[in-house]
């Protein structure tokens, strides 16, 4: 014997019928936090922010980096 039962209901109605919690508010808060973190990560990738993070705050540090670049490029006649 076969029995075929067809139930036509929305996901919300099925969740309520089975006694499952409504997680929509939690998902909304979570997605808002994910969006905020993604935006913060994109702002960290801006060139100005990258330079501020990479370069030292003092001018002496900047001069040292400049000297390092000049030494790395060097004089092609010396090589």
What does the pLDDT average to over 72-77? 70
What does the pLDDT average to over 51-72? 72
Domain ranges of the chain: 11-72
Check whether 8 has a pLDDT greater than 80: yes
Render pLDDT for 11-59 as a digit per residue (tens, 0 to 9).
889 999 999 998 989 999 999 999 999 888 887 777 776 676 666 565 5
Task: Give the pLDDT score at 77.
Answer: 58
Cα–Cα distance measured from residue 41 to residue 46, given in angstroms and rounded to the nearest whole number: 9
Who wins on pLDDT, 10 or 55? 10
Unique residue bearing structure tokens 């935006």: 39
């Amino acid at each position: 014997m076969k029995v075929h039962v067809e139930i036509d209901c929305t996901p919300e109605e099925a969740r309520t019928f089975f006694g499952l919690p409504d997680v929509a508010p939690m998902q909304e808060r979570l997605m808002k936090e994910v969006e905020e973190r993604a935006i913060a990560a994109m702002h960290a990738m801006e060139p100005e922010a990258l330079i501020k993070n990479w370069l030292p705050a003092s001018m002496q540090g900047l001069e040292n980096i400049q000297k390092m670049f000049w030494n790395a490029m060097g004089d092609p006649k010396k090589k």
